[in-house]
Amino acid sequence: MKIVSFLIAFVIFSIVILFHELGHFLLAKANGIRVNEFCFGLGPTICGIQKGETKYCIKAFPFGGACMMEGEDEDSTDNRAFGKKPVWGRMSVVFAGPFFNFILAFIFAFILMSCVGYDKPVLSGVMEGYAAEEAGLQEGDEIIRMNHFSVHFSREITAYGTFHSGETIKVTYARDGQKHTTTLVPKLDKETGRYLYGFQTMGNVRVKGNVLTNLKNSFYEVRYWIYTTIQSLKMLVTRQVSPNELSGPVGIVKSIGDTYQQSVKNDGYYYALLNMLNWTILLSANLGVMNLLPLPALDGGRLLFLIIEAIRRKRIDPNKEGMVNLVGIVLLFGLMFIVMFNDIRKLFI
């Protein structure tokens, strides 16, 4: 079973990464940029095929992938080199990778919504002695908005409370076709050490919609994972979350495997497949956000250099840009090593 879990995780990572690189590849071709190699994995080439100007290959280590364009990281005299193209064209190529991750997440979210529906943000009850009860909220009320955050799923209620712990919130809810607004002040639950508003949600109850509803909710599904990723990063930066709580590839593979085995045991293979779809949505949206961070070696870092170039109308020295990206890669691999070490350590705790 562990081998099956690993293979499933491998397939999920492969789909997410290849779709990301496909975005770079297609926009490079659309902008007339020469693509020398399109590959999956890292390290030495195991096998490959040359088709036209591009070599398509599989590398020895099945982690990551690349769309290697002429003149992307070095000077080139080729008129079809990356650096020879207009800045807006280059920006579209760089942005396409993360954007394709959001597209992939949307496609899989639509499949998931079509199969099992969505978790409507309706209260199954309120906790006695907490703000929701004191404000008169009841079972069956539908939460529409929390402060300026529009709510579309039951889990968004919990997520918002987690990311805005202790904050007073203005809640808009619907009852019998009428909208109501109230202000809730959370109370500290001494047992859990968490601030609670007193909501009880029916997250396990899903409502099926038509095609248009599923398309709309697929967009909100991607928005939900983008939101949780960004808010989690904020908690990390503000030290509300310890770096030791981060999960890298090893931790994610273990979580995917645990989810798959638990799903097969309790619900069968069909729902196990749906849970794997959910993991793919999460990871694809997460990769899209992470790659847009304005850090060296990431797509966001490259976009930052291109934005600066567009503003000053002069390209930054490629050697200096390459040096910054090299430092970024070293730091990124250092962080990955630390995260992977923590993942492995957790396996033996």
The label of the residue with tokens 């999960």 reads 247
Residues 313 and 264 in one domain: yes
| Residue 336's pLDDT band (cuts 50, 70, 90) | low
Rounded CA separation 149/131 (Å): 19
Distance of CA 128 to the CA centre of its chain: 36
The larger pLDDT score, comparing residue 272 to residue 252, is at 272
- Could you confirm whether 133 is annotated as catalytic? no
Q: Which CATH number fits the domain that encloses residue 184? A: 2.30.42.10
* pLDDT greater than 60 at residue 41: yes
Helical (H) or strand (E) element with 37 = strand 35-51
Count the domains in the chain. 2
Summarize pLDDT for 223-270 with one digit per residue, the tens: 999 999 999 888 877 777 665 655 666 667 777 888 888 888 888 888
Domain limit, last residue, from 206, 238, 268: 206
Q: Are residues 243 and 194 in the same domain?
A: no
Q: Which residue in 21, 72, 221, 321 is the catalytic one? A: 21
Question: 71 in a domain, yes or no?
Answer: no
Q: At what angle do helices 269-291 and 87-116 cross, to 10 degrees?
A: 160
Q: Residue 46 falls within a domain, yes or no? A: no
> Is the domain of 85 the same as that of 111?
yes
Query: Residue 224: inside a domain, yes or no?
Result: yes
Rounded CA-CA distance 156/134 in Å is 22
Tell me: do 109 and 190 sit in the same domain: no
Residues 222 and 91 in one domain: yes
Residue that is last in its domain, among 206, 222, 246: 206
Instruction: Name the residue among 82, 28, 76, 90 with its Cα closest to residue 310.
Output: 90
What residues make up the domain containing 283?
Answer: 1-19+26-31+78-116+208-348
| Tens-digit pLDDT profile for residues 84-110 | 899 999 999 999 999 999 999 999 999
% pLDDT > 70, the chain: 86
* CA separation, residue 49 to residues 18, 28, 55, 136, 323 (Å): 17, 19, 6, 67, 32
Q: Which of 166, 176, 189 is nearest to 122 (CA)?
A: 176
Contact indicator for 343, 251 with CB cutoff of 8 Å:
yes
Q: 317 or 260: whose pLDDT is higher?
A: 260
Q: Token pair for residue 108?
A: 């899989």
Give yes or no: residues 97 and 135 share one domain: no
